[in-house]
Amino acid sequence: MSKQLNKQILSPELPFEKVLELVQPMITSIFLKCHIYKDFEYYRHIAAIAVWEAWKKADPAKGLFSSYVYTTVRGEIMKELTKEKRFEMHFAPIDDELLNVYRIEEQGQQQGMSMWLENIMVPLKIEERKLLELFYLEGYSYAEIASELQLSIAAVKKRRLRLIIKLRQLLASKKER
């Protein structure tokens, strides 16, 4: 179906199931424009809810129904993508090696593990130790750490990445010995 034909057929007077069926190509187009290449079922669910909301609230006197559906669906998808991005910024996953170190400490092997951790921390600079402490022990976000260390968020992310690489190398060298 062409876009022109879809605009003529698509109307709020149609049953919801038919409207949802007709807007599937539009939803796919929105996914491509928003660079969504995974979790299709999840986003299709969000899009279906947005179509439902648009279908319920549609007013033919205010403009084309297809345009209203498009902006509603795209807005809901963008809102969800923003929420996911915000979540990623505040809750960065801990690498497996570091997580295992903390788990072992919590299981009662604190003394031996603390010594081992101290040996790993010795070659780290004071700024690197502070970054580790703020990020993993205190649970600060990138923005909070940037404010604390008077750096940009991008600089904090870059330093954290370098620190993780350095810790991996140190862990690998300690295991080889």
Q: What is the pLDDT of residue 6?
A: 46
Percentage of the chain modeled with pLDDT above 90 = 31
- Look at residue 95 and tell me whether its pLDDT is greater than 80: no
The verdict on pTM exceeding 0.85 is no
**Which of 113, 114, 98 shows the shortest CA–CA distance to 168?**
98
Give CA–CA dist 116/96, Å, rounded. Answer: 17
Q: What is the pLDDT of residue 86?
A: 83
- Look at residue 113 and tell me whether its pLDDT is greater than 60: no
Q: What is the pLDDT of residue 100?
A: 63
The gap from C-alpha 5 to its chain's centroid, in whole angstroms, comes to 37
Give CA–CA dist 59/41, Å, rounded. Answer: 29
Reported as a single tens digit per residue, the pLDDT across 19-35 is 999 999 999 999 999 88
- Look at residue 16 and tell me whether its pLDDT is greater than 50: yes
